[in-house]
Amino acid sequence: MLIYPKQKKLKMDKNSKTPAETRLSEFFTMLMELQNSSSKSSEDSVLLAGAMVGVAQMILYDHLVPVEADNIMNHNTADFITLIKPTIH
């Protein structure tokens, strides 16, 4: 859980989600439903994923300082490469 200045850490049991985690889960579900309803092929799904990454990058750079956005993008890119590496031929 990220703790920003002026933000207090909430005491919760192990199974409780923070409001941010709950909202993130809702957004994730919403985006997966969009993908399921709009993609007609694997290519559509990959193109949609690329568009989502582009939108994510624009949002991060619009709302965070550049160093924070760079750190998140670098971390996410490394995770993405690790995820797709076995599929690269």
- Per-residue pLDDT of 44-66, as tens digits, reads 998 998 899 899 999 999 999 99
Q: Which two tokens stand for residue 78?
A: 């490394």
Contact 3, 9 (CB under 8 A): yes
Record the pTM.
0.62
Residue 5 has pLDDT above 60, yes or no: no
- pLDDT score for 15: 75
Provide the mean pLDDT of the chain: 83
Rg (CA), the chain: 16
- Per-residue pLDDT of 65-81, as tens digits, reads 999 999 988 888 887 77
